[in-house]
Amino acid sequence: MKIIDSPEIIQKKASEFKAQGKQIGFVPTMGYLHEGHEQLIKEAKEENDIVILSIFINPLQFGEGEDLDRYPRDEVHDQTVAQKLGVDLLFFPTKESMYPTESAIQLSVNKRTNVLCGKSRPGHFDGVVTVVAKLFHLCQPAKAYFGMKDAQQVAVVKALVDDLNFPVEIVPVATVREPDGLAKSSRNVNLNDQERKDAPVIYAALQQGREMIRNGEQDLNNVKTAVNTFIETHTHGKIDYVELLSYPELENIDRPKGQMIIAAAVQFEKARLIDNQVFDSHGAVTIG
């Protein structure tokens, strides 16, 4: 495995691989790798000749007062995991190398952002698409792998690729979970003991909502109310949102139709957890 911190060098290496006819799979992360990230790398390894893993805590997607400084970091651990899983190139740029000057061009996301996490994080997804666009140009992948735990991010990146004609296939990968159902997340380390016991309730509540639709419930407000009540009753966290929308369009719907997402965010003392399920109008899981 080769570790590269220069955008110019990673772009040159990617171009060389492409010239050799090798297909590049790309896994963009913010580091502090866990089993969810490992699954992305494993799938990329299976489907491509070369795997590039990026680790970059992108400041553009953190708003004022958000947890940029507290975002967990462990470079030694991350390098060990990447080496073990057979990553070919580990791209580890600095903020200064990625954003050497003030940008003259700003990307702005106009759809799929006024709901879920985007509703309370204005500008967050502008930062996401900016860094993803840069990383796609630098790493030149045929396929890029994103975890469905952040399903809104997957939907927004898919829109970026479709709207701007990036020659990249977005591969959504099912959420990796603890045995009790809690979605793997770098932020789980910030839960205290009681919150860690409470946290799996989020997924259980979403499953209950999906089951209601599978059993024929047509009133989506009833579903959302039931999920809210379940979370409120069984956790000490504060609900940020519970939403039921079309997917990947992330638009309001009044009854079960097409592919849908039920998603929730719950704020604990030092961690905000998100989770979701994507399924069809009959309640059958379609992604993750």
The residue-averaged pLDDT of 46-67 equals 91
Which residues form the domain of 38? 2-173
Are 154 and 196 members of one domain?
no
Q: What are the b/e assignments for 4-23, b being 16+ CB within 10 Å?
A: beebeebbebbeebeeeeee
Pairwise CA distance, residues 283 & 242, whole Å: 17
* DSSP assignments along 187-250, one per residue: GGGG--HHHHHHTTHHHHHHHHHHHHHHTT---HHHHHHHHHHHHHHH-SSEEEEEEEEETTT-
Average pLDDT along the chain: 95
Q: Which of 98, 14, 93 is nearest to 51 (CA)?
A: 14
pLDDT confidence bin for 69, thresholds 50/70/90: confident
User: What's residue 198's pLDDT?
Assistant: 97
pLDDT confidence bin for 64, thresholds 50/70/90: confident
User: What's residue 261's pLDDT?
Assistant: 98
pLDDT confidence bin for 159, thresholds 50/70/90: very high
Q: Out of 37, 77, 234, 282, which one is annotated catalytic?
A: 37
Examine residue 155 and state whether it is found in any structural domain, yes or no: yes
Examine residue 160 and state whether it is found in any structural domain, yes or no: yes
Pairwise CA distance, residues 11 & 6, whole Å: 9
Which residue did the predictor score with more confidence, 67 or 115?
A: 115
In Å, how far are 35, 104, 191, 227, 266 from 222, measured between CA atoms?
34, 47, 30, 9, 19
Pairwise CA distance, residues 139 & 51, whole Å: 10
User: What's residue 171's pLDDT?
Assistant: 98
Are 144 and 220 members of one domain?
no
Crossing angle for the helix pair 75-84 and 35-47, to the nearest 10 degrees: 30
Which residue type is seen at 205? A
User: What's residue 65's pLDDT?
Assistant: 66
Which residues, listed in sequence order, are joined to residue 276 by a DSSP beta bridge?
263
Model confidence pLDDT, tens digit, residues 84-142 = 999 999 999 999 999 999 999 989 999 999 999 999 889 999 999 999 999 999 999 99
Pairwise CA distance, residues 248 & 236, whole Å: 31
Domain endpoint, select from 173, 194, 218:
173
The residue-averaged pLDDT of 253-277 equals 96
Residue 37 known to be catalytic: yes
Model confidence pLDDT, tens digit, residues 193-243 = 999 999 999 999 999 999 999 999 999 999 999 999 999 999 999 999 999
Count CB neighbours of 102 within 10 A. 5
Are 123 and 83 members of one domain?
yes
Examine residue 178 and state whether it is found in any structural domain, yes or no: no
Q: Which residue has the tokens 């009854």?
A: 255
Examine residue 43 and state whether it is found in any structural domain, yes or no: yes
User: What's residue 66's pLDDT?
Assistant: 73
Query: Which residue ranges make up the annotated binding site for (R)-pantoate?
Result: 61, 153
* Residue 287 in this model has a pLDDT that exceeds 90: no
* DSSP assignments along 65-124, one per residue: TSSTTTS---HHHHHHHHHHTT-SEEE---HHHH-SS--S------SS-SSHHHHHSTTH
Structural domain count, the chain: 2
Query: Which residue ranges make up the annotated binding site for beta-alanine?
Result: 61
Examine residue 181 and state whether it is found in any structural domain, yes or no: no
**First and final C-alpha spacing in the chain:** 30
Are 40 and 142 members of one domain?
yes
Q: Which of 183, 146, 173 is nearest to 264 (CA)?
A: 183
* Residue 278 in this model has a pLDDT that exceeds 70: yes
E strand or H helix at 266:
strand 260-267
Examine residue 179 and state whether it is found in any structural domain, yes or no: no
Query: Which residue ranges make up the annotated binding site?
Result: 30-37, 61, 147-150, 153, 176, 184-187
Backbone torsions φ then ψ of 188, nearest 5 degrees:
-60, -25
Model confidence pLDDT, tens digit, residues 41-51 = 999 999 999 99
